Amino acid sequence: MKLSLGPIPYFWTREAVLDFYTRVAGSPVDIVYLGETVCSKRRALRLPDWLDIAERLAGAGKEVVLSTLTLIEAESEVAYMRTLTENGRFAIEANDMAAVGMLEGVARFVVGPHINVYNGGTLALLARAGAKRWVMPMELDRDTLAALQAQRPAGMETEVFVFGRLPLSFSARCFTARAHNLSKDECGFRCADYPDGMALRTREDKTFLNLNGIQVQSGETYNLVHEVGALQALGVDVLRLAPQAQDLFEIVEAFRGVVDGRRESSAAAALLEPYLTGGSCDGYWHGAPGMDRLHA
């Protein structure tokens, strides 16, 4: 079973991104997803920069995948996506059906978690279009995964998100800008002030949500370290972790130990506890409300 690192969801400085991927090159992850998936206004890095990072990671033995935007709103974003899909060197993670249309019959690609794959018919359709791997939508449970695994087309790999804040929705509005009484067009890139998103709490001071520009995330951290054995038994090929500004490499090591059989999941859970900003949740996996924590 492989470990993957999803694309950075937050707006970090150019220097922070470059330093991060320098460390990723020496980490025990097998697959790295690169690129901006949330907001096209975030241009600290251009496509040549991402391709340069990709080459360095490939040279370090990583499988590199370039990820597309999740919400397409402008013709310029379509043009950028087309340039990305035609890079001719690296595989693409399609987070929008427009990207699937561009890639169909042209190149093998990864179906991102934001494309609604809820049944075997959809999996078969995407496999015919050229998908080599699909990432299970975060809201699906273990029973649905088991059913989809039984219908999975030959040669199709399965990837499951196992750690990080859950991306719950995307909007044409920018929530971070609105929180500062700014319009989206005049946002001043306030999301850069929150390298792990802007935490929201209820009036009772309980964890609620996390704002990340046009994206809303869970306030809790999704954590399936206890379920690695179950995921292996279901034939899952790749476990995905989400980048975060702090402690990411300690988190990677904890999961790597469980996947390789060098560490018990309970011991890894204890190691991860200090890194669970906002607490942890695993409700979706059990078919319950996502914010629930059902594995004590």
Examine the pLDDT at 295 and tell me if it is beyond 90: no
CATH topology of domain 2-164+221-273: TIM Barrel (3.20.20)
With b for 16 or more beta-carbon neighbours within 10 A and e for fewer, the 164-180 pattern comes to bbbbbebeeebbbbeee
Across residues 61-73, what is the average pLDDT? 95
Res 45: pLDDT: 95
- Average pLDDT over the chain reads 95
Give 143's pLDDT tier (boundaries 50, 70, 90): very high
34: left (phi over 0), alpha (psi -120 to 50) or beta: beta
Q: What is the DSSP letter of 83?
A: H
Percent of the chain with pLDDT over 90: 91
Across residues 9-26, what is the average pLDDT? 97
CA–CA separation, 246 and 161 (whole Å): 19
CA–CA separation, 178 and 166 (whole Å): 21
CA–CA separation, 223 and 282 (whole Å): 6
Across residues 113-131, what is the average pLDDT? 96
Give 105's pLDDT tier (boundaries 50, 70, 90): confident
Examine the pLDDT at 41 and tell me if it is beyond 80: yes
Q: Which long-range contacts (CB under 8 A, 24 or more apart) does 185-189 make?
A: 187/41, 189/11, 189/41, 189/42
- Residue 225 is which amino acid? V
Give 294's pLDDT tier (boundaries 50, 70, 90): confident
Res 296: pLDDT: 64
Give 106's pLDDT tier (boundaries 50, 70, 90): confident
How confident is the model over 162-215, as pLDDT tens digits?
Answer: 999 999 999 999 999 999 999 988 898 999 999 999 999 999 998 899 999 999
Across residues 108-123, what is the average pLDDT? 96
Domain ranges of the chain: 2-164+221-273
Give 107's pLDDT tier (boundaries 50, 70, 90): confident
Give 243's pLDDT tier (boundaries 50, 70, 90): very high
Across residues 37-57, what is the average pLDDT? 95
